[in-house]
Structure 1
Amino acid sequence: MTVILFDDQFRNNLLPLTYTRPVSAIRVGILTIAEKWAFYFKTTPFYLTEQYLQEKYPFRVSEFNIMVNGSICPDEELVEAIERLAEGDAIVADGILIAVKLNESGVKEFNLNRTEEYNKNEYTSRLLRISFPEDIFSNNDQEIRMDFSILTKGRSSASLSSTNTVLGDNIFVEEGATAECSTFNTIQGPIYLGRDSQIWEGSHIRGSFALCEGSIVKMGAKIYGMTTIGPYSKAAGELNNSVIFGNSAKGHEGYLGNSVVGEWCNIGADSNNSNMKNNYAEVRLWDYQMENYRPTGLQFCGLIMGDHSKCGINTMFNTGTVVGVSANIFGAGFPRNYVPDFAWGGSQGFGTYSLAKMFETAERVYDRKKEVFGEMDKKILTRVFELSNKYRRF
C-alpha cells in the first residue's frame, strides 16, 4: 500500500512556508508531518503537490493507495480509522477531505472538486490541522509531546554527562548527543536531544523542547520551552515557543518568540522580534491569499520567515512580521510587517534581490554545510520568484 500526502485547496494559507515545500514537509513538534505519517504507517510516503515541487517531493501510485491530507497531524485513533477504510471510502471532517483509499485509476483521477463519488464517513474525534503559519508554534508543545511519546516508546535513552543538572526524568538523549554544564527542566514538558546534537556550556532549557539531529545550542542560551530546533541548525540567545525547520542559524544573542523560521535562514547577531503589541491587542499577519492582513486571534505572535531569508545584525522585527522566501534584510529601524519574497533592503526601502545574486549566496551557504545547491533547488526558487513577483511593489 502506498501512502500519498496531498496538498488541499487551502495550501496557499501557509505561504510563504509552502512556496518551497508541500504542506506535509512542515516541521511541527520533533518531526515533519510527513515523518509522522511515515512512522505510523512504517513506509515512506509520497506527495501530491504543486508541479514545480514534484521533482524534489516525488509522486508515485501503486495498486492500492491511501491518500491523506498533508495538513493533518496523525494520532493512533485517526490511523486506525484510515486502516479500516475499504476502496472508495473516505474520511471527512467539517467538509474537508481527510483521507481516502483509492486504486491506481482512482488516484490518477483524483480531484478535490469532485469527491461526491466517495463513500464519506464523518470523523468526529479530535483532529490537529495546520491551516495557518501561526498554527505551527501554537501547536508545537502538543506535537513535541506526541512525537516524544512515539519516538521513545520501548527505547532506552543514552546517558548525559554528570556536569549537567536535570530536573525530572522526562528527557531522551539519542546516541552521539552531548551536553555539558547545562540545566534541563523536564517538569513542564519533555526534552529530546537528537543524534549528534550538542548543548554547549551554561545553557538553560525548559521542556517541552526538541533539538534535532546535528544541531547545536550555543553557550549560555535560554530556551523557555515549546520550542523546536530542526536538524543541522544553531541556536543561541533567548528562544520561546518557536520552530526552526532546519539548516538555519540563530547563532547569537537576541530574542525569538512565538515564531517560525524556515530552512537555510540566518538571524544576525542581536536581532530581536516582538511577540506582543504594546497595547496587548490581537496580532494580525500578512495573508498571501487575501493580499491583506488577517486577524490571528492571538495576543502573542512573532516572526514568520520563509526559506533562504537572512537578516543583518540588530534587526528589529515588529509584532506579527511575515518575511517571504529569499529576502535579505538589513539596516536600522523596523522593516515593514510584510517583507516580500526576494526583497533586498530594510526600513529605508526595498529593491529586488535578483535570482543571480541569491543563487551565489545559496551556493556559499550550502557549501559551508558540505551540501550542493543544485539545479532542482534553482528551478524551485526560480518558480517562486515568478509566482511572488506580484507582491514586490517597490
Structure 2
Amino acid sequence: MNICIFEDEKYRKLLPLVYFRPVYELRCGIIPIKDKIIRSFSNPNVILHARDYLTEVLKRDYPNYYVNELPANINQVLFINGRVLADPHFADKFKYNGKDIAYIKGDDIVAFWASGENLEKFKNKFGTPLAKSDFENYEKIEISAKLINYPWDIINNNGEQIVIDFNILTDGKARREGKIYEGVHLLNEHFIHIEEGAKIKPGVVLDAENGPIYIGKNVKILPNAVIEGPAYVGDGSLIKVSAKIYENTSIGPVCKVGGEVEASIIHAFSNKQHEGFIGHSYLGTWVNIGADTNNSDLKNDYGNVKVYVDGELIDSGSMFVGLIMGDHSKSGINLMFNTGTVVGVSCNIYGSGLPPKFVPSFSWGGAEDGFVTYRIDKAIEVAKRVMARRNVQLTEIDEKLFRKIFELTEEERSKAGVK
C-alpha cells in the first residue's frame, strides 16, 4: 500500500515549532506524529509531502522514503494529513471502494485517495501545502479523527498519547533492563519500562500509579529525582539530581533536564538543566533554558490564555498554556515568561522583566533593552558550536535551511519592530 503524509495550509498555526520540520515530525507522546500514522498500516510504502525548502533535509534524514516525489509506476495513493494523531486502528477507516474519496473532520481534510487524473493533479502539488480548494470536486465523507491545530493541542494530548504509545511499544510486557540501584522506588512497576543501558541512581522515585513511565536506552537518572507518569524520557537523556518531572511530560532524546517540569514536551537535543519551572510548554531542538528560568502557565484570574498564532492574538480556549519556543533559542538566567509566550527560532533572550508574549525568530535582546536582529552568520556560528558538543555536525544542508528560515521570518521581525 502507498501512503503519502502531507502538509496542508494550517501548518502556519504550528509555527514556530515547524520552521525546521514538517508538522508530522512534531512529538506527541513517545514518538513523532509521522510514526503513529505509519505504524497503523502494514508495511506501507511511505511518501513524504512537505514545503519545498524542507526537501533536502528530509531526503537526508529519511533515505528510505520518497520525499516530494512519487515512485515510478505508481497508480494509487492514500494521502494522510500530517496533523492527524492516528490511533492503532486508523488504517481501518480507509478501504478503497473503486472511487477517489476525501475523508473530512469538520473543515479539515483527514485523508484522501488519489488515482489516475487526481494523482497527476496532486503530483504537481509536491512542495506546496495543500489547500481546501484542492478538493472542491471530491466526494467527502465525515469521519472521526483527532487532528492537531495549535501547539497547545499537542501539549494537551501528550499524556493520552504517552499511554497509547507505551501500550503499543511494550505490548503489555514492560521490561526493566537497565541498572537499577538499591534505594530506587518503583511504584506500580508493571507500568514502568526501562531500556538497556539506562542507570537509575539511589533515591529516585518512578511513580506510575497514575500513568506509565517509559525510560529509553542509556538514560541516566541521578539521585533523588522524581518522575510521575504518564512520562517519557528519550534515549541518551540525563535527568539531574532532585529533578521533579510531573505527569504528561515527554523528554526527547539527548536532553539534560533538571528543576521542575510539568505537562511539557522537550523535543530533542535541548537542555533545561537547572532550577526553575517549565509547565504546559513545548521546547524545540537545540534549546537552552538558563538557570532559574520560569514560565507561567496559568493566569491569576484562571481565564483562558491568549496566544499569538501567525501574527494574531487568539483565545486558546485553554486555562493552561505555557511557553512555546522554537529550535535553537536560548534564555538567560532568572528569566520569566508570561502565560502563552511564543518565542521564535534562534532567539537569544536575557535580562529582567517579562519579555513580550511574542518574540519573532532571530531576535536578540530582552524586556529592558528591546530586541535587535540576531545576525544570521552569528546564529549559524553558535549553532555549529552547540551541535558539535553533542557530536552532531551542522552541514551545508542545515546552513542552507537556516538561511532560508531567516528570509522567511523577515516579515515577522519587521512587524514587531525588530531591526
TM-score interval, smaller chain: over 0.9
Match of 2:158 among 118, 140, 152: 140
**Which deviates more from structure 2 when the two are superposed, residues 331-340 or residues 349-358?**
331-340
> What's the CA shift string for 1:267-297, capped at 9, x where partnerless?
0111111111223222111111xx2311111
* Alignment correspondent of 1:278: 300
Are 1:149 and 2:150 matched, yes or no?
no
The answer (yes or no) to whether the contact 2:56–2:397 under 8 Å persists in 1 is yes
CA RMSD of aligned residues (A): 1.7
Are 1:48 and 2:63 matched, yes or no?
no
Match of 1:77 among 89, 100, 104: 89
Cα shift at 1:39:
2.2
Match of 1:105 among 120, 123, 128: 120
Cα shift at 1:59:
2.5
* Alignment correspondent of 1:228: 250
Distance in 2 of aligned mates of 1:209 and 1:44: 31
Distance in 1 of aligned mates of 2:30 and 2:361: 27
> What's the CA shift string for 1:238-285, capped at 9, x where partnerless?
000000111111111110001000011000111111111223222111
**Which deviates more from structure 2 when the two are superposed, residues 91-100 or residues 225-234?**
91-100
* Alignment correspondent of 2:323: 303
Match of 1:356 among 359, 370, 377: 377
What is the number of equivalent residue pairs in this alignment?
Answer: 390
Q: Normalising to structure 1: TM-score of the pair?
A: 0.94
* Alignment correspondent of 2:279: 257
> What's the CA shift string for 1:186-229, capped at 9, x where partnerless?
11111001122121111011100000111111111001110000
* Alignment correspondent of 2:61: none
* Alignment correspondent of 2:402: 381
**Which deviates more from structure 2 when the two are superposed, residues 377-386 or residues 96-105?**
96-105
Q: Normalising to structure 2: TM-score of the pair?
A: 0.89
Give runs of aligned pairs for residues 89-238 of structure 1, distance below 5 A. 89-103=101-115, 105=120, 107-109=122-124, 112=131, 113-123=133-143, 125=144, 127-153=145-171, 155-159=173-177, 161=180, 162-168=182-188, 169-181=190-202, 182-238=204-260
The answer (yes or no) to whether the contact 1:65–1:107 under 8 Å persists in 2 is no
The answer (yes or no) to whether the contact 2:40–2:89 under 8 Å persists in 1 is no
The answer (yes or no) to whether the contact 1:85–1:101 under 8 Å persists in 2 is no
Are 1:324 and 2:344 matched, yes or no?
yes
Cα shift at 1:47:
2.0
Distance in 1 of aligned mates of 2:362 and 2:316: 25
User: What is the percent sequence identity of the aligned residues?
Assistant: 38
Gaps of 5+ in 1: none
**Which deviates more from structure 2 when the two are superposed, residues 159-168 or residues 330-339?**
159-168
Distance in 2 of aligned mates of 1:31 and 1:128: 16
The answer (yes or no) to whether the contact 2:40–2:90 under 8 Å persists in 1 is no
> What's the CA shift string for 1:38-63, capped at 9, x where partnerless?
32234573321211111112333131
Distance in 1 of aligned mates of 2:286 and 2:5: 24
Cα shift at 1:76:
2.8
The answer (yes or no) to whether the contact 1:86–1:101 under 8 Å persists in 2 is no
Match of 2:353 among 322, 328, 333: 333
Are 1:315 and 2:335 matched, yes or no?
yes
Q: 1:48 to 1:237 in 2, by over 3 A?
A: same
**Which deviates more from structure 2 when the two are superposed, residues 372-381 or residues 267-276?**
372-381
Distance in 2 of aligned mates of 1:99 and 1:70: 9
* Alignment correspondent of 1:20: 20
Q: 1:83 to 1:221 in 2, by over 3 A?
A: farther
Gaps of 5+ in 2: 59-66
Distance in 2 of aligned mates of 1:246 and 1:7: 22
